[in-house]
Chains A and B, each alone.
Chain A
């Protein structure tokens, strides 16, 4: 596994993705130390100041320092991304494993459930659930997680189905291995590669969805800073304060790009099939 990571980082795509993600992670973790101001401190003498040495990314409509808010916003987007995709991946692994291992009617039921979930427009589904709950950071993590597990489920199921026909799995089955051993010792570890790739790509889309929801006012609620809700202000002041729109957008773009590059790079290295065609 370690060897594979090293191999992955030799790939220029994956490496550039890794560098972007690592820097953003670092900035997010060190936010309380780096941030020059309290992200929620209102300063009426410093409303809508353009970027300067005092305020690297300017100030917003309440005189709050945009750079500090961006740093704390990075924490939010990473937190939401990882927890939401963690939830989705766990559900996907459990359902996909059950589906692919036991097959039969359980498989049919789970796969039809996947079809049903896929035929409801995702963003509508997320918004509908949020309408019945209070918008908060925890709720959107759960909602994004509960509405994005279908891809992983199909993936894990397909892996399990193909592993079932492999000799080492059949050998272990012949020796009388119990279901749990078959699933956790033999099949799951051998499906980790595609799961990892889909996790990284999943974080990218969760970050996009979170910022979209927060932008619409249905995600992370102010005064808590998130890239999406800084952009809501940006829209408000678009004619006078370009910095409120520019920086959060670029941050989201870079983060999503980073995860996508890392994910695709990992796929290239870890999946022998794509190596031939590229």
Chain B
């Protein structure tokens, strides 16, 4: 297990280097000098802020040196300070000259986005598994047809549109749920419930397409497993159908789910842009969207890097969980 872990960790190094290269390339995409593009979009961009950009990314040095310095900053997780928000540190808190602690922008936004993503993943697992199982067990009969229809619609529905419709329906017409923000000002006892009601719609929106995908995945996995010999044996022994389905088949069908959930993480993190900017939730997605609108390059590069690192971390956790759940992987049989 330890050897497997080390091997897996070692694999992350080339990926991290690759991510740093891709993000470096993106910075240099802008025609000419990024200081020009910034200036051409923002009439207020002064010579001073251009100078700051040049210093931050060392634009006066040779490309190789620039990349080396960028890599060094990435390793130290130093993404500089925001242009737009009064010099706030992009990633983590720092102390200013008078010793006051200034919170980092990502530091404040990240927990919110993580909370939404964890809740979405929870929703996906708790709803998708039963849907997929029912669909497989009733293959080609009405329940399966209905679930398949739901899956196709879940794939096709634009999240931001559904968000608008639900906001209108639950917030404007019926006043069931709050339509934006994460909590109102109130006493501590109601705060948790309040945060949950604020997060209900965003979690549903960001989890929906994953939910559709995973229930289809469970359905197909179950159909594969249900046709295998050991299931026939279990039935022949006279086991109850529920035992066969839930204890024998589902366990095997759920194994690949771990990997798939790991792969769903970049989609969830990326999808947070739409859900968070519609519902005005101050998470990573909203922060990123605002940074893009204001061309706040340090924030953009910081979130891009941290988002990718989180994805790698998610995949790593998924692989470890898989190795833990499936002894064949752990012992290197597969």
* Chain A residues near B (Cβ < 8 Å): 112-113, 115-125, 127-134, 204, 208, 211-212, 215-218, 231, 234-235, 238-239, 242, 245, 248-249, 252-254, 256-257, 260-261, 277-278
A129 to B224, CA, bound (A): 41
Most central of B26, B27, B273, B292 by chain A CB within 10 Å: B292
Tell me the interface secondary structure of chain B in the complex: helix
**CA–CA, A132 and B293, complex, Å:** 11
Q: How far is the CA of A235 from the CA of B292 in the complex (A)?
A: 20
- What is the minimal beta-carbon distance from B10 to any residue of chain A, in angstroms? 13
Q: List residues 152-176 of chain B with CB under 8 A from any CB of chain A.
A: 152-153, 155-162, 164-165, 167-168, 172
- B282 CB within 8 Å of chain A: no
CA distance A242 to B167 in the complex (A): 12
Whether A117 pairs with B22 at a CB distance below 8 angstroms is yes
Chain A residue, CB-CB nearest to B41: A134
A113–B19 CA distance with the chains assembled, in angstroms: 9
In the assembled complex, B181 has its CB within 8 A of some CB on chain A? no
B269 within 8 A of A: yes
Closest residue of B by beta carbon distance from A254: B156
Is the beta-carbon distance between B18 and A260 smaller than 8 angstroms? no
Q: A118: which B residues are within 8 A, CB to CB?
A: 263, 266
Q: Are A123 and B270 in contact (CB under 8 A)?
A: yes
Is the CB–CB distance between A256 and B156 below 8 Å? yes
Contact between A116 and B153, CB atoms less than 8 A apart: no
The complex places the Cα of A121 from the Cα of B265 at a distance, in Å, of: 8
Residues of A within 8 A of B288 (CB): 124, 127
B121 within 8 A of A: no
On chain A, the residues within 8 Å of B308 by CB distance are: 119-121
**Can you list 11 residue pairs at the A/B interface with Cβ under 8 Å?**
A112-B14, A120-B19, A120-B22, A120-B304, A124-B269, A124-B273, A127-B288, A128-B292, A132-B37, A212-B159, A238-B164
Count: A-B pairs, CB below 8 Å = 148
Please determine whether A231 and B160 come into contact, CB atoms closer than 8 angstroms. yes
- Rounded to whole Å, the gap between the CB of A57 and the closest CB of chain B is 15
Across the two chains, which residue of chain A brings its CB closest to B18? A116
Cα–Cα distance between A128 and B24 once the two chains are bound (Å): 11
Residues of A within 8 A of B295 (CB): 131
A256 smallest CB distance to B (angstroms) = 4
A216 touches B266 (CB 8 A): no
- Min CB–CB distance A150 → chain B (angstroms): 11
Q: Nearest-CB distance from A117 to chain B (Å)?
A: 7
List 10 other contacts, CB 8 Å, given A116-B15, A119-B19, A132-B26.
Answer: A118-B266, A119-B266, A120-B304, A120-B308, A133-B29, A231-B160, A245-B165, A249-B161, A252-B161, A260-B152
Q: How far apart are the CA atoms of A120 and B267 in the complex, in Å? A: 9
**Residues in B neighbouring A204, C-beta threshold 8 A:** 155-156
What 8 A-B pairs have minimum CB-CB distances, sorted nearest first? A123-B270, A116-B18, A249-B161, A121-B270, A256-B156, A257-B156, A121-B266, A131-B292
A156 to B266, CA, bound (A): 23
**In the assembly, what is the distance between CA of A218 and CA of B293, in Å?**
8
Q: B257: CB under 8 A from chain A? A: no
> With A and B bound together, what is the CA distance between A246 and B211 in angstroms?
24
B274 to chain A, nearest CB (A): 6
State the CA gap A252–B267 with chains docked (Å): 20
Q: Is the CB of A239 within 8 A of B266?
A: no
CB-nearest residue of chain B relative to A122? B270
Query: In whole angstroms, what is the CA distance A94 to B176 when docked?
Result: 52
Q: Which of A124, A128, A208, A231 has the most CB of B within 10 A?
A: A124
Whether B323 is near chain A, meaning CB under 8 Å from some CB there, is: no
B17-63 with Cβ < 8 A to chain A:
18-19, 21-23, 26-27, 29-30, 34, 37, 41
- Asked if B143 is an interface residue, CB under 8 A from chain A, the answer is no
Chain A residues, Cβ within 8 Å of B311: 119-121
A17 to chain B, nearest CB (A): 10
B29 & A129 in contact (Cβ 8 Å cutoff): yes
